[in-house]
Amino acid sequence: MQLSQPASFQYQQLLPTGTLYTATFAASKTSTNSGFSTFNPALNSNLSIRFSQPLLRNRGTYVNKLNLMSARSRLRVSEYNLRFNLLNMVNSAENAYWDVVSARESLKVAEGGQQVAEEFLKLSQKQLELGALSPLDIFNPERQLATAKLAVSQAQFTLAQKEDALRKQIAADLDSKVRDLPLVLTESAESPESGPLDRESTVQKALNARPDLKAAVQNLDVDDLALRSARNGLLPNLSLTGSYQTQGRGGVFYRRTNIFNGDGTSSSILASTPGGFGDALDQMFGFGYPVYSFGLTLSLPIKSHAASADMADALVAKKRDSLNVRTTQQQIRLDILNAVTNLEGSKEQLKLALTARDLAQKNYDAEKKKYELGTEQNQFVLQAQNDLVTAESNVVINRINVRRNLLTVLTKTGELLDERGIVVQ
C-alpha cells in the first residue's frame, strides 16, 4: 500500500516583448508499507523555469500591444459616436421646443385675427342697425369671424399635439404629476442679432469638430492596427525556448545490508537517518542536480488561408473606411453650405416679412378708416384683414425658421453640445 501527497504551484507571465516564462514548483510526499523502500516517507521537490521568446511572429512590444491599442481605438470611436448621437438628440429636443413655440405664436396670430374679425363684425352690425349697410352685406363679416374661429380651434389642437410631443421628448409624459404641469417656455421666437457667416471658415470649423468625422478617421487607425496584426500572422513562427530544472530529495533514509536476503525477503536495516522536507529543499536550492535545455522551434505558415483572408479583409476595410472619410467630409461641406445659405436666406425673408406685416397693418387701418367713412366696401376691409393675418403668420414662420436654421448650423458644425454646456465624460 502506498500513500502519495502531491503539491504543485505555477506562475506564468507574458512580457510586453512577447517573452513567455513559466516557473513551476512541485513537491510530493510518498509513504509505503513496503519493506524494500529506501526512503520512507520519501520527500521530493522540483523547481522548473521555462521560457519562450518569439523571434519573428509576435516579436516586440508593439505587436503584443496591438489588441490593447485596437480596443482603445474602438473605445474612442464609441465615444465619438455617443457624442454624435447626443448631438442629434439635442437637436431633436430643441426642434420639438420650437414646434411648441411656433404653435403658440400661431395661436396668438389666430386669436388676434379672431379679435379683429369680431370688432369688424360689431362695426358692421352697428352700420346695419343705422341703415348704412345692406342686410345682404352682413354675411361677409360673419363668415370672416367663423373662419377666424375655425383657425383658432385648429391652432389650439395643433398646440396640444406639439406640447404632448415635447413632453415625450423631455420624458415628462408618463408621470401624471409631472404631465399635468404647464410648459413654461423661456426662449422666445425673437432671433439673436448675428452677422453673416463666412462659409469656408464655418466648413473648416465643422471638419475640425464633427464627431462623426472623428469616428470615421479613428476607424482608419483601427484598420492600420488590423493590417499590422494581419502581417504579423503571415510571418513564420520562430521561437527560442529554454528550460532549467533542479530537484531535491529527503525523508527518513534506511541503510540496509543488501537489497534482498538470500531467501528473497527484504534485507535487515542497519541504521536509519532521519530527514525531512528541509533536506529536499537544500538539495534543490543547492542546484546540485541541474538539467538545462535550449532549442529553436520553427513553424512555417505554408498556404495559411486564415492569415491571408485576415490580410484581405483588413485591406478592404481600410479602403472602405478611407472612402467613408472622404464621403463624410464632402457631406459635411455640403451640409454646412446649405445650412449657412438657409440661415442667411431666412434672415432676409424675416426682414421682408416684417416689412410686409407693417404694410399690411397700414393697409388694414386705411381700408377700415375708409369703410367707416363710407367710401369703401366691406369686402376690401375683409381682404385687408386676411392679408394682415397672413402677414403676421409669415412673420412667425420666418422667425421660427431663423431659430431652426441657426440650430441646424450649430448641429452641422458640431458645436451644439458646447453651446448648450453639455459635457460628455
Q: Tell me: the pLDDT tens digits for 141-189?
A: 888 889 889 989 999 999 999 999 999 888 888 888 888 888 888 887 7
Q: Which of 334, 383, 330 is nearest to 120 (CA)?
A: 383
Q: Is residue 113 part of a domain?
A: yes
Residue 24 burial by Cβ neighbours in a 10 Å radius (0-12, 13-18, 19+): middle
Domain count, the chain: 2
Cell numbers found for residue 94: 430643441
- Of the two residues 387 and 212, the one the predictor is more confident about is 212
With vertex at residue 409, the alpha carbon angle to CA 408 and CA 413, rounded to the nearest 5 degrees, is: 115
- Decide: pTM greater than 0.85: no
Structural domain boundaries enclosing 13: 2-59+237-299
Q: What is the pLDDT of residues 73-84, one digit of tens each?
A: 999 999 999 999
Q: Tell me how far CA of residue 261 lies from CA of 131, 257, 268, 273, 368, in angstroms.
A: 156, 9, 8, 21, 144
- The answer to whether residue 231 sits within a structural domain is no
Quick check: is 21 in a domain?
Answer: yes
One domain for residues 53 and 70: no
- Encode pLDDT of 10-45 as tens digits: 999 988 888 899 999 888 888 777 666 676 777 888
Q: What is the mean pLDDT of the chain?
A: 84
Say if residues 167 and 183 touch (Cβ distance below 8 Å): yes
Neighbours of 293 (CB within 10 A): 10
Q: Assess if residue 425 is contained within a domain.
A: no
CATH number at residue 167: 1.20.1600.10
Contact 107, 99 (CB under 8 A): no
Say whether both 358 and 404 belong to one domain.
yes
| Residue 204: inside a domain | yes
241 shares its domain with 222: no
Judgement on whether residues 335 and 415 belong to the same structural domain of the protein:
yes
Mode of pairing for the β-strands spanning 2-14 and 20-32: antiparallel
Question: Do 288 and 400 sit in the same domain of this protein?
Answer: no
When pLDDT is averaged across residues 48-75 and rounded to a whole number, the result is 88
Domain boundary among 279, 299, 319: 299
**Percent of the chain with pLDDT strictly greater than 70:** 88
* Closest CA relative to residue 379, chosen from 140, 146, 148, 143: 140
Looking at the structure, do residues 317 and 335 belong to the same domain, yes or no?
Answer: yes
Last residue of a domain, one of 299, 329, 347: 299
Q: Which residue has the higher pLDDT, 280 or 216?
A: 216
pLDDT of residue 16: 85
Structural domain includes residue 424 = no
Same domain for 72 and 159, yes or no, is yes
Whether residue 379 is predicted with pLDDT greater than 70 in this model: the reply is: no
Whether residues 351 and 288 fall in one domain: no
8 & 138 share domain? no
Query: Which three three-digit cell numbers place residue 229?
Result: 496584426
Secondary structure of the chain in the HEC alphabet? CEEEEEEEEEEEEECCCCCEEEEEEEEEEEEECCCCCCEEEEEEEEEEEEEEEECCCCCCHHHHCHHHHHHHHHHHHHHHHHHHHHHHHHHHHHHHHHHHHHHHHHHHHHHHHHHHHHHHHHHHHHHHHHCCCCHHHHHHHHHHHHHHHHHHHHHHHHHHHHHHHHHHHCCCCCCHHHHCCCCCCCCCCCCCCCCCCCHHHHHHHHHHHCHHHHHHHHHHHHHHHHHHHHHHHHCCEEEEEEEEEEEEEEEEEEEECCCECCCCCECCEEEEECCCHHHHHHHHHCCCCCEEEEEEEEECCCCCHHHHHHHHHHHHHHHHHHHHHHHHHHHHHHHHHHHHHHHHHHHHHHHHHHHHHHHHHHHHHHHHHHHHHCCCCHHHHHHHHHHHHHHHHHHHHHHHHHHHHHHHHHHHHCCHHHHCCCCCC
Q: Tell me: do 198 and 247 sit in the same domain.
A: no
Q: Is residue 124 part of a domain?
A: yes
Task: For residues 74 and 200, state if they share a domain.
Answer: yes
Task: Give the pLDDT score at 298.
Answer: 86
| Claim to verify: residue 128 and residue 182 sit in the same structural domain | yes
| The last residue of a domain, from among 248, 270, 299 | 299
User: 248-306: per-residue pLDDT in tens?
Assistant: 877 766 666 655 555 555 555 555 566 667 777 777 777 777 888 999 888 876 767 78
Query: Which pLDDT score is estimated for 132?
Result: 63
Q: What is the pLDDT of residues 309-352, one digit of tens each?
A: 888 889 999 999 999 999 999 999 999 999 999 999 999 999 99
pLDDT score recorded for residue 322: 94
Mean pLDDT value across residues 106-123: 84
Q: In this predicted model, what pLDDT tens digit does every residue of 228-249 receive, in sequence order?
A: 888 888 888 889 999 989 888 7
CA dist 152 and 114 (Å) reads 7
